């Protein structure tokens, strides 16, 4: 078995930056929610609700860091790193639920428009944009190494777009008096989050179902092992990920007659590391095929 290199999601997650983004987001969530009720703007309330999910995403990410860094034990031999994936999946489901609620509330308000204080709405949205840009800056350098940070980043990114939309909408309401624009903006904020959240949820589900990691082809990995000198055939090949950046592989390899088992094992591991960046591999080398013929890949 090859060494398990420490390059997973949890180890690379920036706790200090998450705390800074969490503080900013929490503070503005309260301010924006109050501003939404005072100005009568559903778009601001929608944005504040999304900011609340941002705060929860960041809070869960911080919890995931502390839990995920706990060492493996006799009950959880892979450790607790996958808690981060569970947290990211929860975030995605929560955000989808919030988006559906905002769409429903907007539908109700379109039939009975409310009087909107556009100047106050505009000022609050500008501050929200600055907060979102700051949080994005804090998280952007680490979003590709962690599903949890990626989930938080996507929510902040969606809020940034929402703030821009609210700014534009407030200007339109101020210039034209079209109060229905506020509800239309709330609908837009709700809809724009669905595609990114669905992608995040699919990634989480794939990991939880032990699916092949994105970007890897099982047939290509099998061929890479099978073509190592000294390998006659490959079976019982499994490829999955513990977290987004920590892929694992197990396989049985049948040796050619007279092949040096240790040399073949090292050659397979080296090829998997060089070609697929696979560092956590468990290989069973056999002189005779142990698998029934129908199970051979």
Lookup: tokens for 213:
């990691």
Note the pLDDT of residue 85.
82
**Residue-level pLDDT at 229:** 94
**Predicted local distance difference test score (pLDDT) of residue 244:** 72
The answer to whether 158 and 192 are in contact (CB under 8 A) is yes
Same fold, 10-208 and 218-295: no
Local confidence pLDDT in tens for the 297 residues of the chain: 343 333 344 445 566 777 888 888 888 888 888 888 888 887 787 777 777 777 777 777 777 677 766 777 777 777 777 777 887 788 788 778 877 877 887 777 777 767 778 888 888 888 888 888 888 887 776 666 666 677 677 777 777 877 888 888 888 888 888 888 888 887 877 777 677 778 888 888 999 998 999 889 999 999 999 999 999 999 999 999 887 768 899 999 999 988 899 999 999 999 999 999 898 899 999 887 776 554 444
Residue with tokens 């959880």: 76
Q: Classify burial at 185, counting beta carbons within 10 Å of its beta carbon; exposed 0-12, middle 13-18, buried 19 or more.
A: buried
| pLDDT of amino acid 293 | 53
**Confidence (pLDDT) at 95:** 77
Of 203, 196, 184, which Cα lies nearest the Cα of 160? 196
CATH of domain 10-208: 1.20.1510.10
Q: How many helices (H) and strands (E) does the chain have?
A: 9, 3
Q: What is the pLDDT of residue 296?
A: 40
15-31 tens-digit pLDDT = 677 788 888 888 888 88
Residue 213 is classified by DSSP as: P
CATH of domain 218-295: 3.30.70.1350
Specify the 3-state DSSP secondary structure of 292.
coil
Where residue 10 falls (left for φ over 0; alpha for ψ -120 to 50; beta otherwise) is alpha
- Taking phi first (over 0 means left), then psi (-120 to 50 degrees means alpha), and beta for anything else, what does residue 88 get? alpha
- Residues with Cβ within 8 Å of 273's Cβ and at least 6 positions away in sequence, in order, are 2, 279
Say whether pTM exceeds 0.75: no
| pLDDT score for 141 | 67
Buried b (16+ CB within 10 A) or exposed e, 272-284: beeebebbbbebe
Residue 119 structure tokens = 């100047």
pLDDT of 146: 63
Q: What are the residues whose beta carbons fall under 8 Å from the beta carbon of 217, sequence distance 6 or more?
A: none
Can you give the pLDDT at residue 143?
A: 62
Q: What is the pLDDT of residue 148?
A: 61
Domain boundaries, given as residue ranges, for the chain: 10-208, 218-295
Per-residue burial over 236-245, b if 16 or more Cβ lie within 10 Å, else e, is ebebbbbbbb
């Amino acid at each position: 078995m090859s060494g398990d290199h420490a390059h997973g999601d949890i180890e690379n997650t920036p706790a200090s930056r998450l705390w800074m983004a969490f503080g900013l987001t929490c503070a503005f969530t309260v301010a924006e929610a109050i501003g939404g009720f005072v100005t009568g703007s559903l778009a601001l309330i929608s944005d504040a609700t999304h900011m609340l999910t941002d705060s929860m995403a960041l809070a869960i990410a911080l919890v995931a860091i502390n839990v995920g860094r706990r060492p493996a034990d006799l009950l959880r031999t892979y450790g607790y790193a996958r808690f981060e994936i569970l947290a990211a999946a929860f975030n995605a489901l929560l955000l989808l639920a919030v988006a559906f609620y905002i769409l429903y509330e907007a539908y109700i308000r379109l039939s009975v428009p409310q009087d909107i204080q556009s100047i106050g709405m505009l000022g609050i949205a500008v501050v929200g944009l600055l907060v979102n840009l700051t949080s994005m800056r804090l998280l952007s350098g680490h979003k590709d190494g962690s599903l949890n940070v990626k989930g938080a980043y996507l929510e902040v990114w969606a809020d940034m777009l929402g703030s821009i939309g609210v700014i534009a909408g407030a200007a339109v309401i101020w210039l034209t008096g079209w109060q229905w624009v506020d509800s239309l903006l709330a609908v837009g904020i709700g809809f724009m989050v669905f595609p990114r959240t669905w992608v995040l949820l699919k990634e989480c589900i794939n990991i939880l179902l032990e699916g092949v990691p994105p970007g890897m082809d099982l047939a290509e990995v099998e061929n890479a092992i099978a073509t190592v000198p000294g390998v006659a055939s490959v079976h019982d090949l499994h490829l999955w990920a513990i977290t987004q950046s920590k892929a694992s592989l197990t396989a049985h390899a049948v040796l050619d007659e007279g092949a040096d088992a240790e040399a073949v094992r090292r050659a397979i591991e080296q090829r998997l590391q060089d070609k697929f960046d696979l560092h956590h591999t468990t290989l069973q080398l056999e002189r005779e095929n142990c698998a029934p013929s129908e199970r051979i890949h």
